[in-house]
Amino acid sequence: MKKINLLLIVAFTINFCFAQKNKKAIYTSKEFSIYANALMQGKSFVAKAVSDSQIISNYASFDKPTLSESALQNWKLSKDISAFAQYNSSFPISNAIYNLSLEEMIKAVETDSTFRTGIDWPGVWTRDISYSIILSMAMVQPKVAMNSLLKKVNANGRIIQDTGTGGSYPVSTDRVIWAVAAWEVYKVTGDKDWLNKVYVIIKKTLRDDTNNLIDITSGLVRGESSFLDWREQTYPVWMQPVDIYASENLSTNVVHCKAYAVMVEMAKELALVKDEKQHSYISSSIRKSINKHLWMQDKGYYAQYRYGRIFKSISPKADALGEGLSVLFNVANDEQQKTVVANTPVTAFGIPCIYPQIPDMQPYHNNAVWPFVQSFWALAAAKVDNEKAVLESIAAIYRPAALFLTNKENFVATNGDFAGTAINSSNMLWSLSGNLSIVYRLLFGMDFKANSLQFNPFVPKAFADNNRTLTNFKYRNSNLDITMVGFGKIRFMLLDDELISNNQVPANLTGKHKIKIVLTNTNFPESKINKVGVDFTPQTPTVTYKNNCLNWLKVNEAANYTVIKNGEKLKPTQNLEYAVNDSVYTEYQVLATNNKNQSSFASEPIVVVPPHKINIYQVEDSIPPSDLKHEGFTGKGFVEISKDVNTEIKLNLDIKADGYYAIDFRYANGNGEIGQDNKAALRSLYYNNDKIETIVFPQRGKNEWNNWGFTNAGTIFLREGLRHFSLKLLPANKNMNIDINQAMLDYVRVTKMD
């Protein structure tokens, strides 16, 4: 049987190669080429569109020892897709991939009329469904999109943050992408009842976020990177969940900036002038803070995030989703948008989630390409007229779909194979949504407004096709048959043979209509991309402190090291030690840098502070200790905080001298695993009647109540004397679990910083 399969594969490959010998490729690179009806990777792997409804592939995943382990794979359309818009062009491979994605979309609809996340991922996930809706599901399946979004609203009327690092919200904070998806549904449908419903949900959610997430010093939103929610995959291993909460990430900030901007548009539609001004102010403030703290002028794109403890520095890695959304959501200005697309590193098989990669880490977010991220990158590239980046993106999306015969969630950046990633799934909703977006949003350039549908097509010259049509496309109460002629950008547009202005279809259009789009047939401006290899940084140094000296072991691949003092880089050195002599609170970290000038993550901060500047106040001196039998605490015991116990704790702290202080808590939270569940506790820390900070007590391990660590710190200037503080459970401090919001407090640590 294996011999027969191998002969079939060899014959199929030889016949394909012979047939394509004199044909021009739509796209070609050293790794793979795309033709009108087929795709070839290397000299072995071929996917051929037999028709618009059938693809044959001989792809054998690299985790299999020989080609003989695989037979020819065959996708043939098995679902009725006639209810949806029908796409046709002279490129069968493009048509077939579109139809495959429509079929997988139908398969993704559950019996309760919500979307399944993937064939191996049941249920609705907030970020997955939201990004899918933004890409294409709002326009293709608006009712299912609505149902799915409403399933991600909790009993308190807030958007649900999916489980994540340290017990979900507020360590993970990208839930407000839901708002952008909800707005997209409204623009497609014009449903005012929907708008009124979602506006209230989003407003409540953002009110909590404003209280819990915004760093008043930097103006940035705290919390984990959007969708990159496996901490080891995108953060140094020393970072605890509380460190991730305190970090300030590009993608999450861009999402929050857009969420507030969406609320401005919603408020306009609902004539809520006061709300409109407030949301506009916050959105503008976050945008300015992103550009102040995360823009890297020397690289021409944004930094991955700010991280550290009291003092923060940037991780100069690229975050592909954040970079793409910064363009699409207008966080970057016009010139920045062009440089972001031109300079952000891309690899042979697509744009990796992060760049450069973390060494010795299994591919998943690290060393991986995700098609949905690639789709947003394609749309960003089209926005700035970067034809080269658009063509690379289309190729990077079509290749895996054609060879794998499904829309996989991710694949390894180094070899393009779906095997080897930590987890994966076929029929992934956001991957298939991204594939469909290439037709709707990129080639046909559909841009939904509150009261119209505008067309801004972008067709690379390599995809020039005089027979591109999209028929039976439903927009509100109209049904559109769209024909497109030529390549380039739009020259003019006809609605029922009448020239229309602004290339817009009005929202009040009814019945069946014909649209003809004529493109310019002119070349796009010369464009560039930053195509690189799949590079890895050095390992993060391990630093110790003894006898007024920092010491670290030699790191492989490191050409030099850089000491960071209070967030500022000092001069590079090749030494493995650094003498310190500080009389005030100081944080030190060390970077290892290779010959390509690519740096490791910064090491865990070493705090150098005279002992007399640290004061410990046992919480049980102010509040009766708990009767729970946990161990590992200091002093006479510990104090429980929960929804019902000690919802407000008053603390009288004896401040020894005027100055700036950092205040944090030693705590335990054994309510769940670090990477699962939703039981991070949070409280508001007040000095007299003024709020200092939201204090977060993330999960530290299931039933690990003897595992003690520190919260984030609030900083404040205090005068000498007895000062009155309180730790309160406020309505804004409700977590995702709702029922369990619990931690154990050992002591308060008050550290003088000057």
Provide mean pLDDT across the span 438-461: 98
Among 482, 508, 484, which Cα is nearest to 496's?
482
| pLDDT at residue 1, rounded to an integer | 35
Provide mean pLDDT across the span 492-505: 96
Neighbours of 336 (CB within 10 A): 19
The alpha helices in 151-306, defined as continuous H runs, are 177-189, 192-212, 231-234, 241-246, 250-269, 273-293
In a domain, 283, yes or no: yes
Among 10, 25, 52, 55, which Cα is nearest to 402's?
55
686 and 650, same domain (yes or no):
yes
- pLDDT tens, residue by residue, 41-80: 999 999 999 999 999 999 998 766 444 445 799 999 999 9
Domains of the chain: total: 4
Provide mean pLDDT across the span 309-332: 98
| pLDDT at residue 2, rounded to an integer | 40
Residue identified by tokens 């709300």 is: 275
Tell me the percentage of the chain whose pLDDT exceeds 90.
Answer: 94
CA 518/CA 470 separation, integer angstroms:
14
* 600 class by beta-carbon count within 10 Å (0-12 exposed, 13-18 middle, 19+ buried): buried
| pLDDT at residue 66, rounded to an integer | 46
| pLDDT at residue 372, rounded to an integer | 98
| pLDDT at residue 9, rounded to an integer | 52
Strands (E) across 371-440 are located at 411-412
Which structure tokens are listed for 386?
């970067």
In a domain, 90, yes or no: no
Among 318, 369, 310, 370, which Cα is nearest to 339's?
318
| pLDDT at residue 15, rounded to an integer | 54
In a domain, 234, yes or no: yes
195 and 53, same domain (yes or no):
no
- pLDDT tens, residue by residue, 244-299: 999 999 999 999 999 999 999 999 999 999 999 999 999 999 999 999 999 999 99
Handedness of CA 263, 265, 267, 269 (dihedral sign): negative
Strands (E) across 421-486 are located at 446-448, 452-455, 468-475, 478-485
User: Letter for the amino acid at 274?
Assistant: K
Which structure tokens are listed for 445?
């350039």
Among 186, 196, 178, which Cα is nearest to 272's?
196
- pLDDT tens, residue by residue, 203-238: 999 999 999 999 999 999 999 999 998 989 999 999
- Residues near 427 by beta carbon (within 8 Å), at least 6 away in sequence: 104, 107, 108, 118, 119, 406, 407
In a domain, 665, yes or no: yes
Cβ atoms 711, 695 nearer than 8 A = yes
| pLDDT at residue 68, rounded to an integer | 43
CA 291/CA 311 separation, integer angstroms:
19
- pLDDT tens, residue by residue, 695-705: 999 999 999 99
Neighbours of 272 (CB within 10 A): 17
Calculate ∠ Cα 300-303-307, nearest 5°.
160
Tell me the percentage of the chain whose pLDDT exceeds 70.
Answer: 96
Cβ atoms 517, 462 nearer than 8 A = no
- pLDDT tens, residue by residue, 83-121: 999 999 999 999 999 999 999 999 999 999 999 999 999
3 pLDDT tier (thresholds 50, 70, 90) = very low
Cβ atoms 484, 453 nearer than 8 A = no
| pLDDT at residue 21, rounded to an integer | 52
Residue identified by tokens 């548009």 is: 265
Among candidate residues 297, 319, 341, the one where a domain is terminated = 319
Whole-structure pTM value? 0.96
In a domain, 630, yes or no: yes
In a domain, 643, yes or no: yes
51 and 124, same domain (yes or no):
no
| pLDDT at residue 276, rounded to an integer | 97
Cβ atoms 178, 251 nearer than 8 A = no
| pLDDT at residue 38, rounded to an integer | 97
DSSP label at residue 137: I
CA 202/CA 152 separation, integer angstroms:
12
145 and 264, same domain (yes or no):
yes
182 and 52, same domain (yes or no):
no
- DSSP states of 212-253 as a string? HTB-TTT-PBPBPPSS---HHHHS-TT--HHHHHH-EEHHHH
Question: What is the largest distance, in Å, between two alpha-carbon atoms of the chain?
Answer: 87
CA 577/CA 545 separation, integer angstroms:
9
In a domain, 442, yes or no: no
The alpha helices in 23-91, defined as continuous H runs, are none
17 pLDDT tier (thresholds 50, 70, 90) = low
586-593/606-608 β-pairing: antiparallel
Residue 598 structural domain: 537-607
In a domain, 593, yes or no: yes
620 pLDDT tier (thresholds 50, 70, 90) = very high
179 and 311, same domain (yes or no):
yes
706 and 586, same domain (yes or no):
no
Provide mean pLDDT across the span 417-431: 97
| pLDDT at residue 62, rounded to an integer | 76
Handedness of CA 424, 427, 429, 431 (dihedral sign): positive
Provide mean pLDDT across the span 156-170: 95
Among 314, 358, 245, which Cα is nearest to 709's?
245
Strand-pair partners of 49: 55
638 and 699, same domain (yes or no):
yes
602 and 616, same domain (yes or no):
no
- pLDDT tens, residue by residue, 646-698: 999 999 999 999 999 999 999 999 999 999 999 999 999 999 999 999 999 99
User: Letter for the amino acid at 128?
Assistant: D
Q: What is the 3-state secondary structure (H, E, C) of 573-636?
A: ECCCEEECCCCCCEEEEEEEECCCCCECCCCCCEEECCHHHEEEEEHHHCCCCCCCCCCCCCCC
Among candidate residues 302, 319, 336, the one where a domain is terminated = 319
176 and 225, same domain (yes or no):
yes
578 pLDDT tier (thresholds 50, 70, 90) = very high
Here the CATH number for the domain that contains residue 197 is 1.50.10.10
| pLDDT at residue 33, rounded to an integer | 98
The order of strands in the sheet holding 560-565 is 568-569, 560-565, 586-593, 606-608
Which structure tokens are listed for 3?
């011999």
179 and 209, same domain (yes or no):
yes
CA 119/CA 79 separation, integer angstroms:
16
Here the CATH number for the domain that contains residue 596 is 2.60.40.10
Q: What is the CA radius of gyration of the chain?
A: 27
139 and 273, same domain (yes or no):
yes
Residue identified by tokens 């818009």 is: 85
CA 96/CA 56 separation, integer angstroms:
11
Among candidate residues 607, 625, 654, the one where a domain is terminated = 607
Q: Is the pLDDT of residue 336 over 90?
A: yes
